[in-house]
């Protein structure tokens, strides 16, 4: 793949936004269908505000910015490996999802000011439930929903050049 085949900044921003919207829609869909109780935007926003409404607004904004940042990382990683394809993007998305489920989310109670942990005694103020291993504390469907959403995110990011060649 030549350097000229790389997506432009505007295309990366657009596809990063599209992939983030698709991933968020899938996770929120799982939440709405009762397959999962995990809302990462709310969880992140609650780190900055104890007000539920403000936490949601702040969390969604940070989640979108994070989605764009990860889109650039995906583009850079896949391009450097000469694997900017839908299947490599999907594989990277699945790996990213596994890292989130196995390593990142279980660490949240250690850094989140409003989340209980396995080491805390009961307290009077309301706190968020810790995700636990594979985020199973948020429902048995959470791991599958997370992996599917991350996989679609990666497929959209990695598939950009292939779609560009179809329509050009």
pLDDT in tens, 109-155: 889 988 888 776 656 566 788 899 999 999 999 999 999 999 999 99
Q: What is the pTM (predicted TM-score) of this model? A: 0.88
Helix, strand, coil proportions of the chain in percent (round to 5)? 70, 0, 30
pLDDT recorded at residue 116: 85
pLDDT recorded at residue 12: 83
Sign of CA dihedral 63, 64, 69, 70: positive
pLDDT recorded at residue 128: 86
> pLDDT band for position 44 (50/70/90)?
very high
Q: Note the helical H segments in 33-159.
A: 40-45, 52-80, 86-99, 105-111, 142-158
Question: Tens digits of per-residue pLDDT, 59-101?
Answer: 999 999 999 999 999 999 999 999 989 999 999 999 999 999 9
pLDDT recorded at residue 40: 93
């Amino acid at each position: 793949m030549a350097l000229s085949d790389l997506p432009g900044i505007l295309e990366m921003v657009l596809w990063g936004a599209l992939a983030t919207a698709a991933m968020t829609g899938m996770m929120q869909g799982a939440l709405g269908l009762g397959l999962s109780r995990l809302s990462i935007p709310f969880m992140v926003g609650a780190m900055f505000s104890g007000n539920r409404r403000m936490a949601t607004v702040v969390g969604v904004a940070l989640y979108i910015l994070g989605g764009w940042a990860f889109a650039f990382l995906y583009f850079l990683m896949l391009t450097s490996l000469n694997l900017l394809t839908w299947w490599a993007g999907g594989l990277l998305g699945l790996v990213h999802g596994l890292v989130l489920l196995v390593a990142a989310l279980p660490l949240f109670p250690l850094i989140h000011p409003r989340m209980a942990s396995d080491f805390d005694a009961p307290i009077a103020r309301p706190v968020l439930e810790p995700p636990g291993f594979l985020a199973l504390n948020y429902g048995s469907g959470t791991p599958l929903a997370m992996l599917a959403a991350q996989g679609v995110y990666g497929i959209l990011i990695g598939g950009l050049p292939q779609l560009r060649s179809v329509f050009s």
